[in-house]
Amino acid sequence: MIERYTLPKMGQIWQDGHKFRQMLEVELLVCEAQSRQGQIPKQALANIKQKAQVDLVRIQEIEKETRHDIIAFVRQVSSGLGKYSRYFHCGLTSNDLLDTVLALNLKQAAKLLIEDAHKLLITLAKRAREHKHTICVGRTHGIHAEPITFGLKLALFYDEMKRNLGRLQDAQEVISYGKISGAVGTYAHLTPSIEAYVCKKLGLKPPGIATQVIPRDRHAQFMLSLALVGSSLERFALEIRHLQRSEVAEAFEPFSKNQKGSSAMPHKRNPVVCEQICGLARVLRGNAQAALENIALWHERDISHSSVERIIIPDSSILLDYMLEKVNWIVENMQVYPEKMKENLKQGRGLIFSQRLLLALMEKGLSRTESYDLVQRLAFSVWETNLNFKDVLINAAQIKKHLTRQEIESCFDEGHYLRYVDNIFKQVGLG
C-alpha cells in the first residue's frame, strides 16, 4: 500500500522484516516441539536458538537466485547454524510458515481494527448524545420526508458500527488458525502434537484439517468482513457529503486553517476526506471479490492465490485502518449547523407533515384512498403558490368539513416526531 494511506502500527505488521522474524519464531517453536519429542538433541536446540538470525538483505539477495522466498529464508538462517542446520525446517513445507505467519499478521491486524472500531464507537456515542434532540428534516430519495434528529442519524451509525465491531471480532476468530502439517496436510513428517504445540504458543488454533494450505474460505470471510465495514464507513461519508452540499449546508467535515479546496476557486470547501472514504471502500470490495476467487485452488494447492494475497490482504488491512481513523476524525470534529437544519425543515412550507393530515382524516372516517388523494392534491398546490401548507389546509373547504382549525394546527407539531427519540437511544445502548 502506498505511504499516503499507511498508518505506522498497521504498516509495521506487513513489513518483510516483521514477516521473516515471525517465520523464525515459528521455526524455533517447531524445533522446540521436536526436541520435546526427542527428535532434536537439546544441544542442537540450544545452538539453533542462540545462533538463528534473520538478515533481510541477505534473504533478498538469495531470493534473486532461487526465486523462492522461503528457500532464501531457510538458506540464510541455516548458514549460521553449522552442523545443526540439518534440524532447521525439518519436515516443514513453505506454507507451514507462510500460512501460520499470515494468520499471526491477520490476528494482529484485526486487533488494531477492533481498537479502531471501539474508538469510533466512543466518538459516535458522544456526538449522538450531543445532537439527540437537534431536529432536522429526514429525506427519502433525496426529497424531504418527515422530521428526524441529527442525533438519530448518528445513533443509527453507532448501532451499525456495533455490528461492524462484531464482524471484526468474528473475522479475527476465523483467521486465527495456524498450520504445521506438511506438504499436503497429512502430518507425514510432523505429528499433530507438534502443530498443536506451536499453535498454542503463538495464540493460534490448529485447523483440524488442511491441504498444503489453510482453506481460503477463512481468508475470504476476513476480507468480506473488511469490505462490509468499509461499506458502512462509505454510507456515513456519503451522508456527510450530501449534508455538506451548498444548498443543504447542515453538516461539514473538518477543514483546517490553511487547507485549500480548489486551485481555481478560493471559496471552495469540498468534502474531500468523505469522498476519499467512498473511493477506498470500492477498493475493499474489489479485494474481497479477489479473495472469493482465491478459494478454488487446484487439488491440494496451486500458487494462484499467493500473488493476489500479497497485495489484497495487506492493502485491505491498511486501508480499513486508515478509513476508520479518518471517519473517527470526521465525527469528532465535524461542524454541525442546527439553525440551518431548522431553516431547511421549514423550506418545504409544512409539506413534511402531510402524513399526519392523512391519518387525521382517516380517523374522521374517510377512507385511506379519499384521504390520500385529498391531501396529495392540496400538497401539490403548495408548489404552485407561495402559501404555506397549513394555510392551504385551513382555507380548503374539503378539509374544513372534517377537521377544525385546532386539529389542523396540531398536525404541524414538530414535537410529535421526537416523542420516542429517548427510547430509541436506550434501545441502541445510548440511553
Tens of pLDDT, residue by residue over 67-122, are 999 999 999 999 999 999 999 999 999 999 999 999 999 999 999 999 999 999 99
Average pLDDT score over the chain: 95
pLDDT at 382 over 80: yes
Q: Tell me which fold the domain 94-188+214-256+266-344 belongs to.
A: Fumarase C; Chain A, domain 2 (1.20.200)
What residue spans in the chain does CATH classification 1.20.200.10 cover? 94-188+214-256+266-344
The CATH number of 351-411 is 1.10.40.30
- pLDDT-based confidence at residue 297 (cuts at 50, 70, 90): very high
Which of 136-145, 233-242, 251-260 is least confident? 251-260
- pLDDT-based confidence at residue 218 (cuts at 50, 70, 90): very high
pLDDT for the residue 261: 75
Residues whose CB falls within 8 Å of the CB of residue 44, separated by 6 or more in sequence, listed in order: 31, 35, 84, 87
Distance CA 65, CA 421 (A): 67
pLDDT for the residue 78: 96
Distance CA 310, CA 415 (A): 55
pLDDT for the residue 431: 84
Residues whose CB falls within 8 Å of the CB of residue 145, separated by 6 or more in sequence, listed in order: 137, 138, 139, 352
pTM assigned to the model: 0.93
Catalytic residues: 141, 262
Distance CA 399, CA 46 (A): 94
List the grid coordinates of 167. Answer: 464482524
Q: Are 158 and 181 in contact (CB under 8 A)?
A: no
pLDDT for the residue 262: 72
What residue spans in the chain does CATH classification 1.10.275.10 cover? 3-87
Per-residue pLDDT tens digits for 311-364: 999 999 999 999 999 999 999 999 999 999 999 999 999 999 999 999 999 999
Distance CA 180, CA 160 (A): 38
- pLDDT-based confidence at residue 189 (cuts at 50, 70, 90): very high
What residue spans in the chain does CATH classification 1.10.40.30 cover? 351-411
The CATH class of the 3-87 domain is mainly alpha
pLDDT for the residue 255: 80
pLDDT at 30 over 90: yes
Distance CA 181, CA 198 (A): 11
